[in-house]
Amino acid sequence: MHILTLNCGSSSLKYQLYDWDNREVLAKGIVERVTVGDSFIEHYARGRGTAKREKECPDHKAALELIIETLTDPEIGAISDLNEIKAVGHRVVHGGEKFAQSVIIDDEALDTFRTLADLAPLHNPPNITGIEAAREVMPRIPHCAIMDTAWHQTMPAHAYIYALPYSWYENYGVRRYGFHGTSFLYVAKRAAVLLGRNPFECNLILLHIGNGASANAVRGGISVDTSMGLTPLEGLVMGTRAGDHDPAIGYYVLRKESLAPEEVEQMLNKKSGILGITEIFTDRRDVETAAKEGDRRAELAIEIESYRLKKYIGAYIAALGRVDALVFTAGVGERGPHIREKAVAGLETLGIKLDPRKNELSRTRNAETLISTLDSPAKIFVIPTDEELVMTEDTYALLQGTYKVHTDFSYSFQHPGYRNKERTEALAEELDKNPELAGIIATPAN
């Protein structure tokens, strides 16, 4: 069985095609610059390498048709016919309180996603657009929704209710929801494997650090607090999002510069964060390079981001009491040793001890690594996330009628013998070039 997963952004469409029977990725890629002009697809197919093709995609339906065209291409594709795809899993950023788990999409579910669009105005509308396009192009197969917010539906009321008029929660659903749920679910289950424990006996602090970033406190294997809130704007410093700040600032600047509310919202979401501080960069690699060359704003951006991370780690240590592991994941978390080092500096007395050499070696997406010292009370792991696999497994289970909320469900990757074929093969090549990496690879504890 082949399952296609789609992650639809405002001007992009990311995809992966998975062969369920052989447990391997057949193809993956992304269509960029959808709706904005000069569109192109970057595509990888197992055994055929990578390819890039340019084709205008004025809407997401055209982007999806380009993906299907590429997947079935005799030279660079992965399948011979569209009918080989038996289901599609869609990422949906905001499921509100309505959805505590993944669902098969019907008209009622789609209508609910539309009513939630105001809660994630930058994300849910393109997610919905992608679902509508896919259902139109592939109307005869099931489509499933995997919600970023579902993982966090276990948070207690004292963690998700804001100190605001309670009627705002009752009437408009104003509360903390949290995001990056599929990523957190994956790395939480993998951390339990590496610790050699039942996942529901683990206390974890999870840090998903990419262009979007959030922190997650996990007690007994379930989410009990997270840094993002009603929308993905709250919390950590991000590529273009402000994260935590005095909410009165928006009103203050609105009056000073005679801005419309929509303009302020745009500034906070798309012109703040790392970009706001440096006024140039969003990619942390560019920021690090500039900092090394003496760019004071770049140095400041790193200091601010790292300090915010440290504060959340400290807060979640206090909330959890006992921490079994701290986990870094996503682009910066997986390949940003400088940010990791600064985020945990000085936390030794709280039981988090980083090994600088191990940390420096860990820059891979192909292996799970252990970067704490031997005597660190809490382990520090770097675990490459795999949101697409969570989406694929949820989709398959929904089709089979075996799917349940994660507390009653067992994923393939939460078993010690799990192996990702693609990453295992890539790791072998990586170890040939960097044999020292073998010394920090984390293995399942007995």
Residues with catalytic roles: 148
Contact present, 332 and 213 (Cβ < 8 Å): yes
C-alpha span between 352 and 324 (Å, rounded): 10
C-alpha span between 77 and 70 (Å, rounded): 6
DSSP, res 437: G
Radius of gyration of the chain (CA): 21
What 3 state SS string does 107-136 have? HHHHHHHHHCHHHCCCCHHHHHHHHHHHHH
Query: Hey, is 325 helix, strand or coil?
Result: strand
Residue 171's DSSP bridge partners are: none
CA-wise closest residue to 331 among 287, 284, 270, 380: 284
- The string of DSSP codes covering 135-176 is HHHSTTS-EEEEETTGGGGG--HHHH--SS-HHHHHHH--S-
Tell me whether residue 126 is exposed, middle or buried, using C-beta atoms within 10 angstroms of its C-beta: 0 to 12, 13 to 18, 19 or more: buried
Contact present, 258 and 267 (Cβ < 8 Å): no
Contact present, 184 and 212 (Cβ < 8 Å): no
Contact present, 227 and 214 (Cβ < 8 Å): yes
Widest CA span of the chain, in angstroms?
62
